[in-house]
Amino acid sequence: MCGIVGVSLCSPRLSAAPELLEASGLLQHRGQDACGIVCGNTDGVVNVHKGKGLVNEVFSSLTSRLEGNFGIGHVRYATNGKFTNMQIQPVIANERGDIAIVHNGNLENTKQLRNHLSSIGLHQNTDMGDSELMLELMLSRKPSSRNCCGSGTGPVPRWIVEGLKDIYAHCVGSFACVFFIPSYGLVACRDANGIKPIIVGERRIDETKVDYMFTSESVTFCNLGYTALGDIGPGEAVFVPTVTAGPGHSRCISQQIVPQRSYSPDIFEYVYFARVESIMDGISVNRMRRFTGEALARTIMKTRSAHGDKFSYDEIDCVIPVPDTSFVCALAAAQYMSKPLSFGLVKNRFVSRTFTLPTQKERSKAVSRKLGTVQEEFEGRNVLIIDDSIVRGTTAVQIVAMARRAGAKKVYFASGSPAIRYNHIHGIDLADQSKLLAYGRSDDEVAEALDCDRVFYLPLEDLIKACTRAKTRGDISSFETGMFNGQYTTRTVAVE
């Protein structure tokens, strides 16, 4: 999971860096490990800066030195538990035309990609990541002449299209990418299953002058005055040449590079990753989380007749959301059950998301720094705590313990998504399946591990229904749900 952005402004006199930085800050929730931007202009000048840390830490007073009216930006979350300076994006091909890439997603066949590149005469470093390998596939089609806009007629050079075809032909997994090509412009593409999100928007200055932006989430459009043109479709690429390559509104060119295999967005994007203001693939994150809250409430209310014990939702005194992504879900659940919503957990807003930290030790320490309790909201009450998901259980275990210390009589814990019992192979650091709390455990065993009185999960069919109900446009055929049921869009055999 990462955040990507691309900006192309209508005048060569303008600077894209301020908007790239602001957009990257708006996507900061998608990754806090590192960030970077690359900017350029129509003369082929390229400026780059990147480093470890948050956007406001890496970029302080550098904006004026990052000249160029088009560029790309990235905020990084380490998807494989390992993290080196080489992996900080944008990845740029220095001394080979300074072509760069930002990438969100995860490729499953990096070993095969290295073998392929070696077979065509390109030596590969064994620690190259998937982003570098995709860039190499593109570079393998680049003409040797300095003018990389050549080798083809029309607004899209032939070598770029051929490079994209190679990426689709050889890469297995998920990807949403934006390429920065000096003297040409920006090229965005999405995998043929549409797993990872990428949206294109425009900002019209007048009839002939238009700015364009690519982004992982639509939240960046609202804050910067852009209007969404639509989601890039599975197997589709969108080209935005520089201002000298075409007049005004004609700069945005769409081309289907390969046929669509499916339209299967990663459903966990809506559960956890995305900001509540965003609309991705036509699905309102806010509406979807509201619908999951109502469905979760129905599940809890039905539990009374499904178990032989004396549980009844009537004994719940209040609903307490885990800040921040569960607020909408918890509010909807509380309203549906006619229970008061209580803000018993308080978040320290200066602490980043714990789920995206690379090690278990760091995650555990961060939870105690991130959350505090309002004792009077727990003391002597039966509380229902709602979070968006339960992954490793790091946060949930400590929250239950905090609720007990604050004097709660009974602690029920509910997840706004199904039990996560399988790896997430599309860009999240969940490589070790055995570390998932629900792996190999029944719901009662999960409750015992959390030391709570009962645990509730939203059924997968209800999560899918919530996403479908929240859709206002688009032709989504299915969702990527492998982390919940072991059935991955990019694999033909389900995981046991």
Residues 58-78 pLDDT 10s: 997 666 678 999 999 999 986
Q: Is 189 a residue whose pLDDT tops 70?
A: yes
Taking the C-alpha atoms of residue 122 and residue 132, their distance in angstroms, rounded to an integer, is: 13
Token pair recorded at residue 312: 């009844």
How sure is the predictor about 153, in pLDDT bands with cuts at 50, 70 and 90?
very low
Distance of alpha carbon 265 from alpha carbon 391, whole angstroms: 20
Residue of higher predicted confidence among 80 and 444 = 444
Please tell me what DSSP assigns to residue 341: B
For helices 443-450 and 394-405, what crossing angle results, to 10°?
A: 60
Please indicate if the annotation marks 325 as binding a ligand.
Answer: yes
Q: Hey, where are the domains in the chain?
A: 3-261, 284-485
Query: For residue 151, what pLDDT band results from cuts at 50, 70 and 90?
Result: very low
pLDDT tens for residues 403-418? 999 999 999 999 999 9
304-332: per-residue pLDDT in tens?
A: 645 556 688 899 999 999 998 999 999 99
User: Phi/psi class of residue 173: alpha, beta or left (left: φ > 0; alpha: ψ in -120 to 50)?
Assistant: left
Catalytic-role residue among 2, 148, 171, 452: 2
**What is residue 162's three-state secondary structure?**
helix
Among left, alpha and beta (phi > 0; psi -120 to 50; other), residue 87 is alpha
Query: How high is the pLDDT of residue 83?
Result: 59
pLDDT band for position 348 (cuts 50, 70, 90): confident
* Phi/psi-derived region of residue 97, left when phi > 0, alpha when psi is between -120 and 50, beta in every other case: left
Compute the half-sphere exposure of residue 180: CA atoms within 13 Å on the CB side of its CA. Answer: 38
Six-digit token string for 441: 């455990």
Q: Report pLDDT digits (tens) over 163-187.
A: 999 999 999 999 999 999 998 999 9
Q: What is the mean pLDDT of the chain?
A: 89
Question: What global pTM score does this model have?
Answer: 0.92
Q: Please confirm, yes or no, whether 2 is among the known catalytic residues.
A: yes
Domains 3-261 and 284-485 share a fold: no
Domain 284-485 is found in CATH 3.40.50.2020: yes
- Inform me whether the pLDDT recorded for 215 exceeds 70: yes
Closest CA to 272 of 356, 389, 359, 386: 389
Inter-helix orientation angle 158-170/110-119, to 10°: 130
Q: Residue 127: what pLDDT? A: 73
Spatial contact of 178 and 220, defined as CB atoms under 8 Å apart = no
Nearest by Cα to 184 from 242, 265, 251 = 242
- Residue 216 to residue 105: CA distance in whole angstroms: 11
Q: What percent of the chain has pLDDT over 90?
A: 72
Q: E strands of 327-438, at which residues? A: 345-347, 371-373, 382-387, 410-415
* Cα–Cα distance for residue pair 412/426, rounded to 1 Å: 31
Q: Does 63 appear as a known binding residue?
A: no
Q: Is 387 annotated as a binding residue?
A: yes
Token pair, residue 181, equals 């090509």
> In Å, how far from its chain's centre is CA 368?
25
Q: What is the pLDDT of residue 418?
A: 98
124 CB-near residues (< 8 Å, 6+ apart): 114, 117, 118, 133, 136
Residues 6+ apart with CB under 8 A from 73: 4, 5, 6, 7, 20, 21, 23, 24, 35, 36, 37, 38, 90, 102
- % of residues, the chain, pLDDT over 70: 87
Name the residue with tokens 């190999």. 440
* Length, in residues, of the chain: 496
| CATH code 3.30.479.30 for 3-261 | no
On the question of pLDDT at 208 being above 70, the answer is yes
d(CA 415, CA 441): 15
Among candidate residues 183, 279, 200, 196, the one with its CA nearest the CA of residue 238? 200
Q: How far apart are CA 250 and CA 210, in angstroms?
A: 9
| Side-chain-facing half-sphere of 410: CA atoms under 13 Å | 16
The model's confidence at residue 473, banded by pLDDT at 50, 70 and 90, is confident
Site of tokens 């060569």: 12
- For 183-215, b where at least 16 C-beta lie within 10 A, e where not — what string? bbbbbbbbbbbbbbbbbbbbbeeeeeebbbbbb
SS3 content of the chain, % helix, strand, coil (to 5): 30, 25, 45
Higher-confidence residue of 479 and 126: namely 479
- Which of the residue ranges 25-34, 345-354, 442-451 would you say has the lowest mean pLDDT? 345-354
